[in-house]
């Protein structure tokens, strides 16, 4: 809340200046505090521009002055703090969404060829014998059917897996490491979360996971590129809890 209080002071200063603006020149910067004051004003301007798309100056000043004068205010103090906090939260989410959308557009432009290759592969793969496709687009083949229980989205499981790209490039494999992995069913990519719940303990499935059920436009580094479809052979060894 310190940042919000500081920003409130900043806004008062900005509004005050805008209502009483007088032209100044470099001659006004006579002392260090003069220069620092002007620099703070510049910083204030940048912060206000970044933090607010619009603001009602009259109501802002009324709320500020009512509080200073200990007058009756229109909004309870606690509620007011919540409103400000909620505004900044929504503003942050809006900015993050725009950044993510911009990143996705850039990734799609840069990786259009790979995205098309993955889509073409999955389209052709869906017609092959033994391949099942769920409503989400997840494709799978049953290599071995187990007889144990099925995990839920909140289960913790132990599995062996072997992950490749559509061209056969191995990017991760507990089989190659010789050690099973343990994790929560709901803590992995969507394709895994859905696929694991189809399996009984003791089963071994092969999953063909579309990019929107994997990492989508998000860069992963290493061998997985944005929009890559992923292939996993997964053996469900145990439900731990």
Q: Which residues are catalytic?
A: 161, 171-172, 189, 215, 232
Going from the C-alpha of 41 to that of each of 2, 11, 20, 31, 58, the distances in angstroms are 18, 11, 14, 16, 21
Question: What's the CA gap between 24 and 75, in Å, rounded?
Answer: 38
C-beta separation of 111 from 225 below 8 A: yes
Reduced to 3 states (helix: H, G, I; strand: E, B; else coil), residue 105 is helix
Q: Structure tokens of 86?
A: 């909620």
Reduced to 3 states (helix: H, G, I; strand: E, B; else coil), residue 64 is helix
- Nearest residue to 226 via CA among 98, 105, 109, 111: 111
Q: Residues 217-225: contacts with CB within 8 Å, 24+ apart?
A: 217/103, 217/104, 217/107, 217/108, 219/107, 222/171, 223/165, 223/169, 223/171, 224/165, 224/171, 225/111, 225/114
Reduced to 3 states (helix: H, G, I; strand: E, B; else coil), residue 126 is coil
- Nearest residue to 8 via CA among 37, 51, 71, 38: 51
């Amino acid at each position: 809340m310190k940042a919000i209080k500081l920003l409130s002071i900043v806004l008062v200063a900005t509004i005050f200046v805008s209502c009483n603006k007088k032209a100044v020149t470099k001659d006004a910067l006579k002392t260090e505090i003069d220069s620092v004051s002007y620099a703070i004003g510049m910083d204030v301007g940048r912060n206000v521009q970044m933090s607010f798309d619009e603001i009602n100056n009259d109501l802002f000043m009324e709320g500020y002055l009512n509080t200073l004068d200990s007058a009756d205010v229109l909004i309870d103090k606690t509620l007011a703090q919540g409103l400000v906090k909620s505004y900044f939260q929504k503003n942050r989410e809006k900015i993050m969404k725009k950044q993510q959308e911009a990143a996705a557009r850039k990734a799609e432009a840069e990786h259009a060829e790979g995205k098309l290759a993955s889509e073409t592969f999955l389209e052709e793969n869906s017609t092959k014998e033994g391949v099942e496709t769920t409503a989400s687009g997840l494709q799978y083949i049953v290599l071995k059917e187990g007889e144990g229980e099925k995990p839920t989205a909140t289960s913790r499981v132990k599995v062996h897996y072997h992950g490749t790209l559509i061209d056969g490039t191995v990017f991760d494999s507990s089989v190659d490491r010789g050690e099973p992995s343990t994790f929560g069913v709901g803590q992995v990519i969507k394709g895994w979360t859905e696929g694991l719940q189809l399996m009984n303990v003791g089963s071994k499935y092969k999953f063909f996971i579309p990019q929107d059920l994997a990492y989508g436009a998000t860069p992963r580094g290493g061998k997985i590129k944005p929009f890559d479809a992923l292939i996993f052979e997964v053996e469900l060894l145990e439900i731990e809890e």
